[in-house]
Amino acid sequence: MSEVKKGLLGELFEAVVAGNIQLAKRIAEQAVERGVSADLALEKMTEAMRVVDKKYEAKEYFTVDVASAATAMREAFRVFEPHLKVKPANIVGKVVIGSLKGNIQGLGKDIVAAALRSAGFQVIDLGVNISPEAFVDSAVKEGAQVIAISVSVDETVPFLKDVVELLREKKLRGTVKTVIGGRAVSEGTRKEYGIDAYAKDAWDCVKKVRDLLSRTNK
């Protein structure tokens, strides 16, 4: 990688950490023009948000600082989104996605939704703070085969039980598959609550959704 590209990635990192929205967007546009990999840029911005999280935990940053950084990343991400390199999905499917009730941070969910769309899936983004009932009702209404749930707040994890139970009540347990992701969940959470798949990041979610759909359509 050229020094110019490395420099742009470094500047993008700093702009996101600083929460400088206009600068992050401008650097993203320059990076695209220079042929910087959108996937590498996404990794760099995700790394920046980890730094922001640490600053927040250390009480160096306040909620407003985290919100500014998240917005800076989101605006830059919109510039890179059309250039993400994800293999197109062989199976057309519909996914309902949202952040579970009690989760108001939607950045991770936004990235996953974009990755799924770029892979060729139809995505219905419900937003943040979504109740188990809303997930299931939307899946029924939209005829979705997969419900993707983002969980970043530990205390909200038990709501996953309600999603699974509602699917069981509507006799959709085997028809509508579930996948979870976010820093509050893990493979252990998946097993504990009877969720069909756990994804560690956006690209893993694309793979898991593709796998769930291939099993559903057999």
* Interatomic CA distance for residues 169 and 207, integer angstroms: 28
Nearest Cα neighbor of 75 from 122, 41, 34 is 41
Given a cut of 80, is residue 170 above it in pLDDT?
yes
pLDDT in tens, 17-59: 999 999 999 999 999 999 999 888 988 988 888 788 788 878 8
Of 80-89, 125-134, 139-148, 159-168, which gets the smallest average pLDDT? 80-89
Give 3-state DSSP helix, strand, coil % of the chain, rounded to 5.
60, 10, 30
Of 132-136, 203-207, 209-213, which gets the smallest average pLDDT? 203-207
CATH class entry, domain 3-83? mainly alpha
Given a cut of 90, is residue 83 above it in pLDDT?
no
Is the pTM above the cut of 0.85?
Answer: no
Given a cut of 80, is residue 89 above it in pLDDT?
no
Which bin fits 120, alpha (ψ -120 to 50), beta or left (φ > 0)?
Answer: left
Choose the CATH number for 94-216 among 2.40.30.10, 3.40.50.280, 3.40.640.10, 3.40.190.10: 3.40.50.280
pLDDT in tens, 179-198: 999 989 999 999 999 999 99
Q: Where are the domains of the chain?
A: 3-83, 94-216
